[in-house]
Structure formats: C-alpha cells, structure tokens
Structure 1
Amino acid sequence: MKIVLKRDRQTGRQIVAVLEQLLIGSGHLLRLFHTVRHLRGEQIAYRLYYRLARPLVARQALASITALPRRSWVRPWVAPLVAPRSQVDQGVFEFLGERGCVETAGDWNAVNKTKLWLYNLHYLDDLNAVDADARPDQQGWLIRRWIDDNPPLAGHGWEPYPLSLRIGNLVKWCARQTQVSPEWLVSMGRQAQALAAQEERHILANHLFANGKALTFAGAFFAGDQGGRWLKSGLRILDREISEQFLPDGGHFELSPMYHSTLLWDMCDLVNLAERSGVPELLERAAAWRGVIERGLTWLESMCHPDGEISFFNDAAFGIAPQFQPIKAYAGALGCLGSKGLTEVLSCTHLRDTGYIAVLLGQGGKALLDVAAVGPTYQPGHAHADTLGFELSLFGQRVLVNSGTSRYGEDTERQRQRSTAAHNTVEIDGEDSSEVWAGFRVARRARPSVPDIWREPGMEGEELRIRCAHDGYRRLPGRPIHQRQWTFATGRLRMIDSLSGQFRKAVCRFYLHPDVQVAGNQELHLQSGHRILWSVSGGAANVVPSTWHPQFGACVPSHCIEIQFDSAELIVDFSWK
C-alpha cells in the first residue's frame, strides 16, 4: 500500500501547530524547532556529512598534488587597493581595533584572540591593502610564514571561509608578480583542493558564494585538468548563487548593506578576472555579471546616508566592506554604471524585493525605513530584530541610528545588539520582534505587511505617508500587532505607532548619533548648528545614556530617547529648520 502525504500551506500550518503544542513545555526545544524548520534539506544533509565523513573529507583534501602550471593571462591583475593596511609592521597586525603579533606558529591560532580576529589574520588581506605593492619584502614574509606555520588541515586557516578569502588574495598578489615561488604555487593548489572538499553547503548564503569565487579564481589562475575542475566547480556555485542572492531590486538577499558592499566588490572582481585572464567561460558570463553590478550600485546608493556611508540594518559596521565611492569607481572602470538616485524632495524609492524604503528630505536629509522580512529564511544569521526600524539624517548628519555591530559570537552584548531594544522601533513586553538567539540564529520571525505608500495635501504642502505592520509579537499571549505610520513633510516627521491586541508594556526607542547634543525642552542640537524639536503624545519620554557601535571593537557613548506607551497609540513628532 502506497501512502501519499499531500502537503499544502494549511496542512503545514496544522503540523507546525501540533508540534508547537508538543514542545510548549520546553522553551529551548521550541526555539530550536522554529529555527531548524526553515533549513533546507541540503544544509542538514551536508552538516551530517561533514560530521560523519571527516576522514573522507580529509583524504580528499590531502590527496597528492604536483606542481601546477599557470594559465597565460591576457593582462596582469590590476585592481584598486583600498582595504586598510592590517600588517602595521612585519609580524604585527591590527584587526577589529585590536593588535596582535605573529612570533611563533601557535600565534596563528592564539587562544587569547577571538575566532573572528584569527579569521582576519588568516585571510591575508594585507596582500591587497593600501600600498601593498610598495612592501614586497613584507608581503613575501607573510606568505612564507603562513605556509611554514600552517600545515594542511591544521587550525583555523584551513576552514573553508578563511581558505576562500585567502585564495583570492593569493591569486591577486601572485598575478601581479613576474615570478612566483613553486612552493607557493603548490601551497595554493593544496588550499584550493582543501576548499573543494569542504564547500560550505551546510551554511550557504555569502559563505558558499565566497567558496565559489575562490574556486573560480584558482581555476582561472591554474591551467591543466586540476585548474579546469576548480573553475567548473566555482562557476557551478556562482551560476546558482548569484541569481539567488542578488534580488531583482539589486540588493543582496541577506539584507545587510555591509555584506551587500562586500559581495558587490566581489562581483567587480569577477568581471575584472574575466577581462584580465581571458578565460572563455568567464567572458561569456561577464555581461550578466555587469548587470548585477549596475543594479547593485543603484541599491547601495539608495541605502547610504548623505555622508556616503552605509546604513546600519542587520549586521553592519564601518571598516569591514569597501565604501560606496571606491566600489562605484571600480565598477565604472569596468564599464558598469548604476542608475541615478533620488533628486526631488519627498521622493521615495521602495526597494520591494529587499524590503527597504529610502525617502529624500532635501537639504542633506534622508530617511531609510526597514519594512523587510527576515531573510533569507534558511540563513538569517546576520539578521537583527529591527522590523519597522529606521534611520534618519538631516543637514548631512546622522541623527537617528541603529545600534551597529561591534562583535560576533554568542555573548550577551552580541545578543543585545541584535535585539529589538537596540533599534529605532517598538519593543513589546520585553520581547524581540524576531527571536534572535545564539549569535547567528533566528527562531520565530516577524512578517511585515505590504507597505502602503501614498501622498496627501497637508497644512504646509504635500505629505508623503508610509504605513506598515508586522506580526512578530503574535506569539505572545495577547497576540499584539505593531503598526507604524511615517508622515513626511517639509521640515517635519510624524510617527504613529499603533498596537492592537493585549500587552503589559511597550517601549519605543530612538537612538541618537553621538554627535547629536541633547538640550532642554525636548530639543536636539546638531554640529552644523541646526536644531531639532521633538514631542510625544501618548507616552512618557526619558533620555537615557546609551552606546553606538560603528565598527567592530568600538563602543561610543550616546543617548537614547526612550518612550513608555501610556495607551495603544503613540505619536512622536520631529521638526527642524
């Protein structure tokens, strides 16, 4: 007898409801269930494979390898060197605001450094940093030292993500040299082989993209059968991931302006690689890649503040990814130009696929609104619980900012920075709108409605109104819904936060940039001398000390306007001249 299970949305919801009831007594198991149920089968299968088949993976990575011939390129590698110098002196490195030294082989895996710091050490980004070509002896020392101190599959440096970034850096460096040590070439081949044996299909998203880019670079650099296999593997990954990860509105699907910037630079690298290597398989894809770059440039410009830097939605910080202007210049040198951005006051761009809205306010003013879902569903590791949050610049200066990101890991500060309470939105009953946990996991997620965007005549001219709601708090006993409406007019902004359903406590927060001075009588002063007035109806406001985290390792004192709801509706007005 053959049993057929017919699965539709209603059936799926019923199954989830039954499982929730079974797990309701264990908060951790329930949270784990709501995290794991979004994973793809591929992720689960590869996680099991890498755990159970480690000896097989090791044999594949350590298979014998001989000297590999280099491909003949049309032109040597040339690209902008914009990354900050990380090797401040020979053997002395600075990452994430912290210095460290490589004096012994053990320093590459030092127990007194975070894993993220050690990852940065193993990337060898300094090979393509500012003035890297003016320091050939130092760079040669760095490559030799890494090879000597890091035997195959030993330590953090042989994990697939640092392997991916280092392979790209080594190829770029070696492709600029007239002669390369055979020992280095063998090591590069060994690293590519190790990466090919452990593609990050258990993680997917930007990690798998990085694997694909690295294998493509290795395959374009090395000739012969082995180089051809790496090229084929890399392009197979990229063909799938580029179309999936870059959405039709141009944005990267992890919804982080920082990661978008990183991958947009990677796309420029791929087009550059096609032109300089002359590899036919790359050249036939270059036109499509240029289209991704052009759409990505337009998206990134929309998501930058008037100061030219990225906004802080989800995991985002300065100093990690290239800035917008260098990316634009690199893309322009490759013949890629984005569309012109907003120019008219109170004009708005709705980035429908990624879920952001940019509003141009004039006189150096811009608002960036988050009406996005947590995505991608199967890999929301860089997501924050920031639904219906926003950032605001006025007169070319940041005024309202999200928390930023100063660290990864699983500690309480990482959890706080991802929480709803660290963003310019509403927290209900002390809970997060999406259940962020364990550093890079999300259980139940807020689902925003399709935003309404319309214009109406106002007392002092036309008004732009945007309204959206989300159901992230429906899991709470009172099943509340949060709706926010922004009303933009010349020189002012009104927000109406409405809560339906039952709740015990609700708090709305507005985080001020550290350069914004808090004055009396609900007044804010900007460095430019401009003043901003604010008022509240339906709640009790206090200005409390806070912090802002614009870079990894950075914690800058600031202030937060914290408003306790008195009823189910809160109205907050900001005005400026």
Structure 2
Amino acid sequence: MNTASLSERSRIWRLVALHIWQRSLKWMHGGPLFRMQPFSAVPARLLIAPQDLRTADATNAADIYGGRFLFSGHLVETQGRSPFELQAVHEDWQRELHSFGWMRDLRAADSQISRQNARALVEDWIKFCGRWHDIGWEASVVTRRILSWLAHSPFILQDGDHEFYRSFVRSLARQVRYLRQTINETEDGVERLHAALAMASACISMAGQGRFARQSIRRLDQELTRQILPDGGHISRNPKALIDILADLLPVRQAFVAQGLEVPPAMVQSVDRMMPLLRFFRHGDGALAHFNGMGSTPSDLVATILAYDDARGAPPQNAPHSGYQRLTGGNSVVLIDTGPAPAIGVSGDAHAGCLSFEFSSGNNRIVVNCGVSPKSNPAWRRVSRSTPAHSTAVIEDTSSCRFLSNRPFGHILGAPILSGPVRVPVEREDDAAGSRITASHDGYASEFHVLHERDIRLAGDGTVLDGIDTFSAIGPVDSENRYAIRFHLHPGLRSSLIRGGSAVLLVCRDGEAWEFEAPGTEVMLEESIYLSDVYGHRKTEQIVISGAVLEAPSVGWQFRKTATAKLSRRGTSDFDEPDELPLEE
C-alpha cells in the first residue's frame, strides 16, 4: 500500500471518529434530553422582522391552499390532511416543506385566505413536529425555518389571536435554543454560518434576549472572521456560498441598523469583501461561473443582493486567497480556477476542476463547465464533480481529486475530497497587449507522476484567447498514459468542424462567431451535457484534444473572433434558436 493510500485511509478514519464524536455531542445537546427539558423562557414579543430578499411566486399559493406541494421536483397531494402528518415522502421534499421557504409565496398572494392558510400550517407544524421530527429538526432545516418565520412573522401573525401569537413565539424561541446548543455539531462551512446568522437574527428580533444576544453576535463574528477569506471568498471555494450568505446576512445587517444597534465590524467587513467577489464571478450576461458547486444563477436574487452594494465598483482581477483569476479584454471575460482543493471538512460540494476556465464574450457564454444538476441524483452529482465535466485537461479519464466513495462510509460522511491538488503556483502578467495567467497543479503527481501547467493569454481587445497546456513528467510515466483537453461549449452555440476537421467554427445566437484551432493536433467535437440550465439538463458539445503524455507533452490552442453580432431587421438574430428541451435522463 503506497503512502497516498495510507494518508487517505487516515483521513477517512479521522472523519469517522469526528462524525461519531459530533453525533454523540448532538445527541447529548439536542436529543431526548433536550426534548424533555422544561422550557419557560418565552420572549414577550417580536420587535422586528428582517427582510426576505428571495423571490416569491404568488401563483404557488393556490396550489398550497389546495393541498398540492411541489418541492424538489416531487409533487405531493395531501388529500385534505396536513402535509406534516405524511410519512414515507422523499427526504428532500420534507426538508423543503419543514424549511417554510414557501411562506414567501403565501405572503406574495397577500389575501385573507393565504394568511389563514399560513397560520393553519404553522399551527400544524407546532402540533405535529414542534417537539421533534427526524428531518424537521435537522440543523439546516431549523435554521431556514427560523429565518423564514422571522421574516414573515407580520404576515403570519396578522389577525391571529393572542394564544397563537404566544404559541408561535414560544416555538420560535425553542428552535433558537436548539441551534444555540447544537451549533458546534452542525456541518462546518455555510451550514454553521447560517445557524449563527439565524441565532443573531432571532436575538435582535425578539425582546428580552440580553446575554443570548451578545453571545449570538459574538459567535456570528467568529464564524464570519473564520469563513470569509480576505479577498471575500468562502473557505469552501463555492461561488454559490456568497449568494446564500449575503441573502441572509444583508437583512440581519439592516435589522441592526433599524434597531439602532452598532453593526459588528466583522459583518461590515464581510459584506464589503463579498460584494466585489460576487461581481468577480459574473459573466457578461450576469450568470456566475460554474466552479466548485455553483449551479444555475438565481438572477433575481443576485440583482437584489447587488443593489445593496454601495461601492458598485469594477470587480477585482484576481482572488488569490479563494484561488481564482479573472481576465478581461474588450467585452470578453475569462475566469480560471487556480486554487487547491478546500479543506476536507468543507469540501462536500467541491469539484475536481483545477485549472478549468470559463470564457464569455458580451452576453455570449462560449466555454463553460458542465455545472451542477438541480436534480437530487447521486449519479449526476458524481458526474458534475469529476474532472472530465470541466474545461481543463484530464489524464486517463481520472479526476485530479479523489472523493470518498459511497462505501462503506459514504452514506454517513458524504463525499468530501480526500486528496487533490495541493500546490497550485500562479503567475500573472498584465500589460497593454493583454493579460496572461500561468498556473500548474500537482493533482496527477502521485498517481501519474505528471504536473499539468496551463498558460492562458487574453488579448487587450478581447478578440483572441491563446492557451498552452503542458504535461511535465516528475517521475516514471507510463508510455500508454493519454490526456484529453476538454472545452465544454455552452448549448446556446452552434458548432461545426471546418478546414477538413482542423478547426471548429462557433456561432452565437446573435451572429457573433469564433474559430477554435490547435495547430498540429487533431480536433474533435463530441457530445457533452450542460447541467446548470434553468430548463434542466441540455445537450451540448465539447471540443476535445487528445494526446499521449510522453509523445506530445505540450499543446497550443486558440479562440479567435471572426465575426461580430449581426441582428436582423426584426431585432433578433438570424441564427436559429437551439433546442430548449431538457435532456431526458
């Protein structure tokens, strides 16, 4: 057994030991003993309701009133029963139900019926699940429910009697106490930070919290300081984390201001750092790049969050602590993953996409990563996290990171990264002619004795993107080992081989055109799939360059703009729209 395998086994056993220890502590702090404890500390009243920044859909209110609940792709009809009485329903459906995020849809309907329905459903939850529910009392679900109840408390409580008010506030306070006692056992990363946010939000929203408020604010400061990096990124390296955190952090900050309280310094600094980095990850069409767990972009929510950005300056060009680089020229944007794998405890959604890049021109996204499937399907999740699902080089179809497999511990520990790139040196040059990034990673060093280096240069006017991929041997290399350099194309493009198969023509919807070529190598067009689309999974294509590591250790390639957008008289492109139908599984 080699040293790498021993190291991975050691990490697995440490994870197992930590999991058992945390489960034991959680059972002590939030298990049967918690449920048996008397609880009389009921706040007298609610003082303020933090704002909910997420988009609501009032049309869902009628379905909920009719007992039709469509959550996580699963439709359940209650047939006159309370949804909280139902058993053997999909776990993701139950998590969304118990999180009460759909309360914003009832509020958007703004009718007497929707208010009565909201109160009835809250009463049902308190009656059937207020003491305990296996899924309803998961820390992440409790967090989302607290934030939702607080944000929509004026709507829920309007026209309600004193008994309901008392019951509502009592249940809310009990849930906050549960988080306070179990926060150290929650999953590290965004989940723990959200729990700290929920605690702080509740303590400034409810009267008479005293020392609990001070403790909660101090804990939130600690988590923000620990989890938000100096460049504004999150320790998980997931751009989606910025959206999720800001969507809850901004209302809490506003609640501090409304209450006349001093906003904690860590909260101010975290917002000021995250806002520019959120802009950093955006393409010209507003979508965020698909790195390390980022799926389709919730455009409305991102626009709402950015409206709170007072500075509204240009995005930074590099994020060294988060491990990303941004190249801009003309209307073109290139975003590159130049960071090592995140720490094992926050790598549950991280991808094996080191040195992958995304490329856009204006509103046209050209090169993308496959992204993340919105479907709760373990198979698609494994596919999306693998190196071949990214626009980078892969050796022998093997990911540059090793994930914990499903057996024997995957079902309890998830699939964190056990090993991956550790050293990712980066050099950057910016001048009048353009910007250049040179980076390498050692993700293939232990198994294949190869370092992958990528040199990318974007011209100052944004019309040419040049790249060189180099594979350097650092030990004995099997002569049979082959690499594949993949460029996944956005499904909005139409691609075709030209010049006898030595180049690829890419035509955008608005008529803009680009040519790809890799002199001296065979260029292939193969099928691919785009997972992060609002329409579902969509068929697309990928450009692939293959070669033997020893025979052709260096490959140069280029994207060159050959035509600008040309609109028809109708104000739309003469280029036919691509098939918008979702790809069936």
Q: Relative to 1, partners in 2 of residues 1:151 and 1:125: Cα closer, same or farther, differing over 3 Å? A: same
Judged with a 3 Å threshold, the aligned counterparts in structure 2 of structure 1 residues 100 and 513 are, in CA distance, closer, same or farther, namely farther
- Indicate how the Cα distance of structure 1 residues 538 and 156 shifts in structure 2: closer, same or farther if over 3 A, else same: farther
Q: Which among 547, 559, 562 is matched to residue 574 of structure 1?
A: 559
Amino acid of the structure 1 residue aligned with 2:417: V
- Give distance in 2, aligned partners of 1:89 and 1:312: 33
CA distance in 2, matches of 1:286, 1:55: 32
| Offset, 1:257 | 1.4
SS in 2 for 1:485: strand
Deviation (angstroms), 1:276 = 3.1
Q: Check conservation: 1:403, 1:549, Cα contact below 8 A.
A: yes
Q: Give the SS at the match of 2:317.
A: strand
Aligned to 1:423: 390
1:494 equivalenced with 2:466 (yes/no): yes
- In the alignment, which residue of structure 2 is the partner of 1:12? none
Which of residues 140, 147, 156 in structure 2 aligns to 1:168?
147
Distance change (3 Å), C-alpha of 1:100 and 1:287 = same
After TM superposition, the score normalised by the length of structure 2 is: 0.82
- 1:323 aligned counterpart, secondary structure: helix
Structure 2 Cα separation of the partners of residues 108 and 250 of structure 1? 43
Change (3 A) 1:269 1:44: farther
Q: What is the count of residue pairs matched by the alignment?
A: 526
* Alignment match, 1:396: 363
CA–CA distance in structure 1, aligned partners of residues 22 and 50 of structure 2: 37
Q: Which moved more, 1:185-194 or 1:52-61?
A: 52-61
Pair 1:445-2:420 in alignment: yes
- Which deviates further from its counterpart, 85-94 or 533-542? 85-94
Match of 2:286 in 1: 308
Corresponding residue number in structure 1 for 2:348: 381
Distance (whole Å) between structure 1 residues aligned to residue 228 and residue 49 of structure 2: 29
Contact 2:329 2:434 in 1 (8 A): no
Give yes or no for contact 1:398–1:513 (8 Å, CA) kept in 2: yes
Cα distance in structure 1, aligned partners of 2:464 and 2:195: 47
CA gap 1:111/1:167 in 2 versus in 1, 3 angstroms: same
- Out of 481, 484, 489, the residue aligned to residue 451 of structure 2 is 481
| 327, 347, 366: which one aligns with 2:333 | 366
Root-mean-square deviation (CA, aligned residues, Å) is 2.9
| Residues 249, 23 of structure 1: alpha-carbon distance in 2 compared, 3 angstrom cutoff | closer
**Alpha carbons of 1:410 and 1:528: their partners in 2 closer, same or farther (altered >3 Å)?**
closer
Give the whole-Å Cα distance in 1 for the aligned partners of 2:216 and 2:262.
15
Indicate the residue corresponding to 1:325 in structure 2.
303
CA deviations on 1:459-481 (whole Å, 9 max, x unpaired) are: xx7132210000011111x3100
Deviations 1:317-350 (A, max 9, x none): 2366963211022x2xxxx5235115xxxxx701
Quote the residue 2:321 is aligned against: 353
Where do 5+ consecutive residues of structure 2 fail to align? Answer: 406-413, 499-503, 563-585
Shift of 1:432: 0.9
Structure 2 match to 1:295: 273
Q: CA deviation at 1:151?
A: 4.3
Deviation at 1:442, TM superposition (A): 0.6
Relative to structure 1, the CA distance from residue 45 to residue 285 in structure 2 (aligned partners, 3 Å threshold; closer, same or farther) is: farther
* Structure 1 length-normalised TM: 0.83
Q: Does 1:511 align with 2:488?
A: yes
Does the 8 A contact of 1:428 with 1:505 survive in 2? yes
Tell me if the contact between 1:127 and 1:169 (Cα under 8 Å) persists in the aligned partners: yes
Alignment match, 1:435: 402
Shift of 1:145: 2.8
2:355 aligned counterpart, secondary structure: coil
1:168-247 alignment to 2 at 5 Å? 168-175=147-154, 177=157, 181-201=165-185, 203-224=187-208, 227-228=209-210, 230-247=212-229
**Deviation at 1:196?**
2.7
Match for 2:330: what amino acid? G
Q: Determine if contact 2:374/2:532 at 8 Å carries over to the other structure.
A: no
The alpha carbon displacement at 1:61 in A equals 4.1
Cα deviation, 1:514-573, whole Å, max 9, x if unaligned, reads 111112311111001011101123543321122111158921111111221241111121
Q: Percent identical across equivalent pairs?
A: 22
Distance apart, 1:451 and its partner CA: 1.1
Provide the secondary structure at the position in 2 that maps to 1:393.
strand
Match of 1:48 among 4, 13, 21: 21
> Does the 8 A contact of 2:293 with 2:350 survive in 1?
yes
Tell me the CA shift for residue 293 of structure 1.
1.3
Q: Supply the AA of the counterpart residue of 2:427.
A: D
Match for 1:464 among 431, 435, 450? Answer: 435
- More deviation, 466-475/195-204: 195-204
SS of residue matched to 1:316: coil
Structure 2 residue identity aligned to 1:204 = D
Instruction: Tell me if structure 2 keeps the 8 A contact 1:356–1:370.
Output: yes
Displacement after TM superposition at 1:256 (Å): 1.3
1:209–1:62 CA distance, 2 compared to 1 (3 A): farther
Structure 2 residue identity aligned to 1:361: G
Which residue does 1:454 correspond to in 2? Answer: 429
Report the CA distance between 1:313 and its aligned residue: 0.6
CA deviations 1:58-117 (Å, max 9, x no partner) are 2124412237133563x654454524566543232333444334454576765352x333
1:90-129 paired onto structure 2 within 5 Å = 90=65, 91-103=67-79, 104=81, 110-113=87-90, 115-129=91-105
